[in-house]
A and B are shown apart, each in its own frame.
Chain A
Amino acid sequence: MAKQLSSKPDAPPDGDAARYAALLGEARELRGVSLWQDAWRRLKRNRAAVYSLYFMALVSLLAVIVPLLPLQSPLDKDLKNRIFLAPNLAPVRLGSRADLRFKDGSLTSELLEFEQQIRDLKQSLKQASESERAAILQELEAKYETDPLAKLWHAPGPIVRFMLRVRVSLFRDWCIPSICGTDSLGRDALSRVCWGARVSLIVGIIATLVSLVIGVSYGAISGYLGGWVDDLMMRIVDVMYSVPFIFIVIFIITILSAEKNKQFLDNLGINQLVIFYILIGAFYWLTMARVVRGQVISLKNEQFVDAARVIGAGRARIIFQHLVPNVMGIVIVYLTLTIPAVMLFEAFLSFLGLGVSPPDVSWGLLVNEGIKVITPVKIYWWLIVFSGSALAMTLFSLNFLGDGLRDALDPRMKNR
């Protein structure tokens, strides 16, 4: 072996050590390219996909930090002065509406006062005797009900509340004017589109994750076990495929939103959004299951599976630790293509009044509100254009990104 190597004419004459060192140096120069690095390189060359990626990153970031932005309240109605304002630059101050009865007509001062009162009550609670405690606690509870932030934003959770608090201390009462106009109840359209992004994206992502879990497990199990189990499982998928599931989902939503069922589900802590995730997840996994099954079938006779089996790995371990990680590439591609499909479906149902319900907002709901107020007399185009294009552009870039990823992860495209 050593002889063959050294028979190269330009091999250094001074023994093996230097030659090995040279070889080692050469090896260091070489960089192994992993599947993901390679895919990333190819994705970067696809301009449309890269722009889509930037756009999606921007939209996601926006959706996360919406409470921090100096936007108007997405909920606060002003039927007297602000109905159907066309896009304009007139300044707006948070909490200035007279009917809110905020101190000085300003959210900042009202909030400061509110927090001062809470602090005072807590202080007196500490000093209070046993007998007074109950009364003070009750007062504190009543005080919490008047939280000015909860008047302008729908049921802020602890994180959102904290972010809103930061926003108030950063920007005080200043907010972006209604550059996208206002709707039929005098709410700011820009703010609603931004808050709608949160719901739309979250629905898209969570429902897709549900479908991911079901689809990957189902497909991997079916493909790995094979035989009659596979036949049966795939027959079920075939039957589900041929059912127009959107109609079934609407039917199920109809039934679950019946008054008594709703109460029952509310008691379990399941609201309409959760039902939504589960239902969509329960129907959108079919393609994923088929794709994963195909991949697993082609992988299950590979040597690494045999090796795992030889050292005594169980079925579950082989499926979920050895096979599933190997199909992740294609799974990610289908994931990026499922998210827009799910978002579209959410928009579709919300548009029909069967999905997200007020006071939550989503893009589908916004388009619906926009189309409801179209009249021959006056066209409020801004209520359709902004929410509609937000939805369309997001779907557009997710589709582009999915296509780009598919090309990038396609092994046939390697080294091109």
Chain B
Amino acid sequence: MSGFASFALRRAFWIVATLWIVFTLSFILMRLVPGGPFDEERKVPEEIKRNIEARYRLDQPMYVQYGEHLWRLIWHGDFGLSYKLGDYSVNGVIAEGFPVSASLGIFAMVFAITLGTTAGVVSAVRRHSFLDNSLMTTATLGIAVPNFVLASLAIVLFVFTLKLLPAAGWGSLKQLVLPAVCLGAPYAAYIARLTRTGMLEVLGRDFVRTAYAKGLSERRVIVRHALRGALVPVVSYLGPATAGILTGSLVLESIFALPGMGSHFIEAALQRDYTMAMGMVMVYTLLLLVMNTLVDLSYAVLDPRVSIEKL
């Protein structure tokens, strides 16, 4: 347990340090922009602008503003107000968008893992069969086709031609299917390839032969004995896959008009809503770091050769 505690502490330290670096860099970048939220197309009179700036302490030197921002963020978890969305704080938008993005991401991840491992195991067990070849060709294609191209084609096919699924929007499970599948597909393909390679390696090992020799059923050997070893490379791929799914959700949320963090982030970027974009970057960084930590943890759980002290 002390191993776990020190692991958690070290990770927590790195997460905080990274977040702080991201915060500082984005703050500096943000303030490098000449002009603030109050000078846009319509000019605000000079006196009013001065007053507003004094009210929001924009007239203070940089380091004072930096300190205050950091303090508000740490103490109140407050990212500030949106520059562009009327009557919205960054926190409010994140609170609204997070559940949407999270369900999309989790759905996509579950889809990718289930489909990927199943296809990989089937391919490895029925090696060089027609099924294996067609699965692996599909997987190679799935890796190469960018998710937005896939999503466009899927919309044309499933929404407008076959009329099976709704095109966009949020609220029902049906509306989540298409974006989640398109988001997860490339990762399912990659996981399938990894699982197949891992399975093929493990299936040749002595312990698998022993398991067969004991008279266990093929199903039991594969699921209980071989799969565990074959999944190690898959688990280590989950880190990059999470990052990819987070990024991919930007595009898919925009395409399918889901009111998640991703579409808000893109909107913020297009509208130059700096506080919003910065808050989103921080949240995404935090998410990614936490997910990576979890992945490393599961790595240690799955592979007895990996000790938690060394992570």
Q: Which of A352, A381, A384 contacts B251 (CB 8 A)?
A: A352
Q: Are B149 and A246 in contact (CB under 8 A)?
A: no
Q: Which of B29, B153, B160, B284 contacts A252 (CB 8 A)?
A: B29
Q: Which residues of B contact A244 (CB under 8 A)?
A: 243, 246-247, 281, 284-285, 288
Q: Are A251 and B26 in contact (CB under 8 A)?
A: yes
Q: Are A239 and B153 in contact (CB under 8 A)?
A: no
Who on chain B is nearest to A399 by CB?
A: B144
We find that the number of chain B residues with CB closer than 8 angstroms to chain A is: 53
Main secondary structure of the interface of A (DSSP, over half): helix
Query: Does A54 sit at the interface, judged by CB under 8 A?
Result: no
Q: How far is the CB of A53 from chain B (nearest CB, A)?
A: 16
We find that the number of chain A residues with CB closer than 8 angstroms to chain B is: 43
Q: How far is the CA of A384 from the CA of B29 in the complex (A)?
A: 36
Query: Does A392 sit at the interface, judged by CB under 8 A?
Result: yes
Q: Are B33 and A374 in contact (CB under 8 A)?
A: no
Who on chain A is nearest to B31 by CB?
A: A255
Q: Mark A373-400, 1 if CB is under 8 A from B, else 0.
A: 0101001010011001101110110010
Q: Are B266 and A352 in contact (CB under 8 A)?
A: yes
Q: Which residues of B contact A391 (CB under 8 A)?
A: 146, 149
Main secondary structure of the interface of B (DSSP, over half): helix
Who on chain A is nearest to B254 by CB?
A: A352
Q: Mark A193-230, 1 if CB is under 8 A from B, else 0.
A: 00000000000000000000000000000000000000
Q: Are B18 and A251 in contact (CB under 8 A)?
A: no
Q: Are A251 and B255 in contact (CB under 8 A)?
A: no
Q: Which of A353, A371, A379, A393 contacts B148 (CB 8 A)?
A: A371
Q: Are B269 and A354 in contact (CB under 8 A)?
A: yes
Q: Mark A348-368, 1 if CB is under 8 A from B, else 0.
A: 100111100000000010011
Query: Does A347 sit at the interface, judged by CB under 8 A?
Result: yes
Who on chain A is nearest to B163 by CB?
A: A376
Q: Which residues of B contact A370 (CB under 8 A)?
A: 152
Tell me the residues in window 47-80 of chain B with beta carbons closer than 8 Å to chain A beta carbons. none
Q: How far is the CB of A297 from chain B (nearest CB, A)?
A: 20
Q: How far is the CB of A181 from chain B (nearest CB, A)?
A: 14
Query: Does A28 sit at the interface, judged by CB under 8 A?
Result: no
Q: How far is the CA of A347 from the CA of B278 in the complex (A)?
A: 23
Who on chain A is nearest to B35 by CB?
A: A260
Who on chain B is nearest to A257 by CB?
A: B272
Q: Are A248 and B281 in contact (CB under 8 A)?
A: yes
A and B contact pairs by CB, cutoff 8 A, 27 listed: A244-B284, A246-B250, A247-B247, A247-B265, A248-B22, A248-B281, A251-B281, A254-B270, A257-B272, A258-B34, A258-B35, A348-B247, A351-B251, A352-B251, A352-B266, A354-B269, A368-B148, A371-B152, A376-B159, A379-B160, A384-B152, A384-B156, A388-B149, A388-B153, A392-B146, A395-B145, A396-B145
Q: Which residues of A contact B (CB under 8 A)?
A: 239, 242-244, 246-248, 250-255, 257-258, 260-261, 344, 347-348, 351-354, 364, 367-368, 370-371, 374, 376, 379, 381, 384-385, 388-389, 391-393, 395-396, 399
